[in-house]
């Protein structure tokens, strides 16, 4: 395929975002993900802000209109009926209005809100008070409902909460789950995307088992974190939340929310502590850790390098981690693979076990440039540009040959193109 011009790709990206719009919110892509997804929606709002800032605020508001009483912003909001997706609202059984799933997703919203506010402060100011309090409640939910007493690392209680469903980071904890009887359900994702690019049946069995477990507790989040079959500290969520709390603090400063500022500063200290917990001296990187037995993942994922995005305090690990990053990105034609390409579990086409994800690249590159590491940051951006220019707007990409994988006409890829990768 020929490389396309930035201008024609801008037009295509806008077309994708408009065509995936479903009346006040935007689908990640049609059929495969036919509802509103939490972090997708926030990256999408950044893309929308490039050509329709009011629509971007509407996208953000629509996510938080479904916030739970306890503060959680759910990972899927089921506002419409979509027979092409499993598990739908009746399977989750959360009794929310609108119906939602029962877990959350990486909290990038505060960072996006601050960025969009800065693009037009007059428009942004009218939304900020209302959204601040919702963001604050959500972050508080993470720091209370998703920690085990005695520790500060945020646990995910379902692989879907990380947004990185089948990462090898969860293998050890997932394999330990004894599902006892076989669950009967039909996967619908495989009618839209080839099986080789999606999680396995045995992983899906565990996903549904964990869902059913949560439902049986009446979606008691504190209980699920404390006692449930799966609780893993994910560098992704922990670093994204650390960065989000820094941005929430900036919003609190704009709004003179002094009482909230005190609490947010406490959370920042907790997250620095969580980063220490995730550091592996063996792998010389931040890696996922099973909270139940403290075991580390056996390999490194791209989200290890979100430490740059989080703007972590200087530490003695910094030089080692930087060397790890350099090795990690130079082994594939396109960076950054979602899992270490030298590890035996690396698979270049299987979802979060190897492919490049543009949103993670964007966050890491932004973090690196804040550290003045512009050469690597520029290399990441240039790879993203080439992937999109050559292949179009896919969900994820093969790091060895650049081929587009998973869903096509993908909203967050279009959004990141407009907000960051396009030169026009
Ligand atoms: C899916 O259905 O594949 C999603 O990743 C769950 O969030």
Residue 388, both tokens: 């999109």
- pLDDT value at residue 334: 98
Find out whether the beta carbon of 160 lies less than 6 Å from any atom of ligand 1.
yes
Rounded CA-CA distance 358/392 in Å is 12
Ligand 1 lined by 396 (C-beta under 6 Å): no
Is 395 known to be catalytic? yes
Please, which residues have CB within 8 angstroms of residue 304's CB and are 6 or more apart in sequence? 235, 285, 286, 287, 321, 324
Please calculate the CA angle 16-56-41 and round it to the nearest 5 degrees: 65
DSSP letter for 349, please.
T
Burial 58-82 (b: 16+ CB within 10 A, else e): bbbbbbbebbbeebbbbbbbbbeeb
Q: Which atom in ligand 1 lies closest to the alpha carbon of residue 87? A: 2
> Which residue is closest in CA terms to ligand 1's atom 6?
160
- DSSP annotation of 76 reads E
Count the neighbouring beta carbons within 10 Å of the beta carbon of residue 14.
18
**CB atoms closer than 10 angstroms to residue 247:** 20
- For 67, 113, 212, 252, 346, the CA distances from 125, given in Å and listed in that order, are 21, 11, 41, 12, 45
Q: How far apart are CA 397 and CA 135, in angstroms?
A: 32
Report CA(123)–ligand 1 centroid distance (Å).
33
CB 7 within 8 A of CB 421: no
Q: Could you identify the residue written with the tokens 């690990």?
A: 317
Task: Print pLDDT tens along the chain (424 aa).
Answer: 567 899 999 999 999 999 999 989 999 999 999 999 999 999 999 999 999 999 999 999 999 999 999 999 999 999 998 999 999 999 999 999 999 999 999 999 999 999 999 999 999 999 999 999 999 999 999 999 999 988 999 999 999 999 999 999 999 999 999 887 778 899 999 999 999 999 999 999 999 999 999 999 999 999 999 999 999 999 999 999 999 999 999 999 999 999 999 999 999 999 999 999 999 999 999 999 999 999 999 999 999 999 999 999 889 999 999 999 999 999 999 999 999 999 999 999 999 999 999 999 999 999 999 999 999 999 999 999 999 999 999 999 999 999 999 999 999 999 999 999 999 8
For ligand 1, whether the C-beta of 203 sits within 6 Å is: no
Is the CB–ligand 1 distance for residue 161 below 6 Å?
no
Measure 102 CA to ligand 1 centroid, in angstroms: 13
Q: Please check whether residue 70 is in contact with residue 48, taking contact to mean a CB–CB distance below 8 angstroms.
A: no
Cα 412 to ligand 1 centre (Å) = 14
Side-chain-side CA neighbours of 421 within 13 Å: the count stands at 30
Q: Can you give the pLDDT at residue 2?
A: 62
Query: What percent helix, strand, coil does the chain show, rounded to 5?
Result: 55, 5, 40
Whether the bond between 336 and the residue before it is cis, its omega within 30 degrees of 0, is yes
Protein residue with its CA nearest to atom 7 in ligand 1: 160
Ligand 1 mean position, distance from CA 103 (Å): 12
Catalytic residue among 40, 59, 165, 234: 165
Rounded CA gap, 65 and 73, in Å?
Answer: 9
- Going 361 to 236 to 71 to 82, the CA torsion angle's sign is positive
Catalytic residue flag (residue 12): no
Could you tell me the pTM of the whole model? 0.98
Distance (Å) of CA 199 to CA 100, 191, 229, 352, 408? 22, 13, 19, 9, 18
Closest CA to 73 of 145, 134, 147, 6: 134
Q: Is 423 exposed, middle or buried (0-12, 13-18, 19+ CB in 10 A)?
A: exposed
């Amino acid at each position: 395929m020929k490389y396309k011009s930035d201008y024609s790709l801008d037009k295509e990206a806008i077309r994708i975002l408009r065509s995936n719009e479903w009346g006040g919110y935007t689908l990640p892509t049609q059929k495969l993900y036919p509802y509103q997804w939490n972090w997708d929606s926030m990256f999408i709002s950044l893309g929308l802000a490039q050509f329709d800032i009011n629509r971007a605020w509407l996208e953000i508001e629509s996510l938080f209109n479904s916030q739970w009483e306890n503060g959680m912003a759910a990972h899927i909001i089921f506002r419409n009926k979509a027979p092409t997706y499993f598990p739908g609202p009746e399977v989750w059984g959360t009794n929310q209005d609108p119906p939602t799933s029962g877990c959350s997703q990486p909290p990038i919203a505060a960072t996006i809100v601050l960025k969009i506010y800065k693009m037009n402060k007059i428009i942004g100011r009218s939304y900020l008070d209302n959204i601040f309090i919702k963001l604050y409640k959500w972050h508080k939910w993470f720091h209370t409902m998703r920690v085990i007493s005695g520790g500060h690392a945020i646990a995910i209680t379902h692989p879907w909460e990380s947004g990185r469903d089948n990462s090898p980071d969860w293998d050890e904890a997932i394999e330990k789950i004894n599902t006892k009887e076989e669950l009967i359900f039909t996967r619908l994702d495989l009618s839209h995307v080839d099986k080789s690019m999606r999680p396995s049946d045995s992983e899906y069995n565990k996903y549904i088992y964990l869902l059913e477990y949560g439902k049986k507790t009446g979606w008691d989040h504190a209980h699920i974190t404390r006692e449930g079959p799966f609780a893993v500290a994910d560098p992704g969520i922990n670093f994204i939340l650390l960065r989000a709390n820094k941005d929430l603090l900036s919003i609190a400063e704009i709004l003179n929310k002094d009482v909230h500022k005190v609490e947010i500063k406490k959370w920042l200290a907790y997250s620095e502590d969580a980063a220490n917990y995730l550091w592996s001296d063996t792998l010389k990187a931040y890696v996922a850790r099973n909270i139940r037995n403290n075991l580390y993942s056996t390999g490194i994922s791209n989200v290890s390098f979100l430490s740059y995005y989080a703007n972590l305090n200087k530490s003695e690990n910094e030089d080692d981690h930087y060397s790890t990053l350099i090795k990690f990105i130079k082994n594939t034609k396109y960076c950054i693979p979602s899992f270490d390409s030298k590890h035996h579990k690396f698979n270049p086409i299987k979802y979060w076990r190897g492919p490049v994800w543009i949103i993670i690249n964007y966050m890491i590159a932004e973090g690196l440039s804040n550290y003045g590491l512009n050469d690597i940051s520029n290399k990441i951006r240039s790879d993203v540009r080439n992937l999109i220019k050559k292949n179009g707007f896919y969900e994820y990409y093969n790091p060895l040959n650049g081929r587009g994988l998973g869903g096509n006409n993908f909203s967050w890829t279009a959004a990141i193109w407009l907000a960051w990768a396009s030169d026009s």
